[in-house]
Amino acid sequence: MPRPDRRPLPAHKSANLNDRLNAAAAAKRVAIERFRAIPGRDDPSVLERQAAQKAISDARDARIAERKTVREAEAARLAAAEAAKIAEREARELVERKEAAEAAARTKTLEAERKAARDARYASRKGRR
C-alpha cells in the first residue's frame, strides 16, 4: 500500500541529442572559465602568498637552527661537566694511591725499626748471659 506522504516519482525525462550536446558544451565552458579565473604565476596575490610562505619557511628554518645550536651547546656543556668529573675522579684516585703508597712505606719502615729494636734487645740479653 503506498504511503500518502510520498509523491510518485516523475517520469524519466528523456533529452534529445541536441540538449545533451548543449549541456556538455555549457559544462565545458564553465570548466574553462573556472580554469582561466585561476591567477597566474606573476599575479600579485600569488606572489604575495609565495612571499608569505617563504617567510614562514625561513622562520621555521631559523627556529630549527636555533634549537640545534641550543642542543649542541647543551651537549658541549654536558661533555665539559663529564670531563671535569672524570678529571676530578682521576686526581682523587691519584692522591689516594699516593697516600696508600706512603702509608705502606711508613708501615714497612716502622716494622723494620721494630725488628731492629727487638733484635737489639735479643742481642743485649744474649750478651748478658
Backbone angles phi, psi at 69, to 5 degrees: -65, -40
Average pLDDT, integer, range 83-99 = 97
Tell me the pTM.
Answer: 0.48
Higher pLDDT, 103 or 40: 103
pLDDT-derived band at 13 (thresholds 50, 70, 90) equals low
Q: What is the pLDDT of residues 33-70, one digit of tens each?
A: 999 888 888 888 899 999 999 999 999 999 999 999 99
Average pLDDT, integer, range 79-99 = 97
Find out whether 97 and 105 touch, Cβ atoms under 8 Å. no
Compute the radius of gyration of the chain from its Cα atoms.
50
CA distance 64 to 58: 10
* Confidence at residue 11, expressed as pLDDT on a 0 to 100 scale: 56
User: Is pLDDT above 70 for 81?
Assistant: yes
pLDDT-derived band at 114 (thresholds 50, 70, 90) equals very high
Number of residues in the chain: 129
CA distance 80 to 74: 10
Find out whether 40 and 46 touch, Cβ atoms under 8 Å. yes
Domain positions in the chain are: 44-128
Q: Supply 21's cell numbers.
A: 550536446
CA distance 118 to 68: 74
* Confidence at residue 17, expressed as pLDDT on a 0 to 100 scale: 85
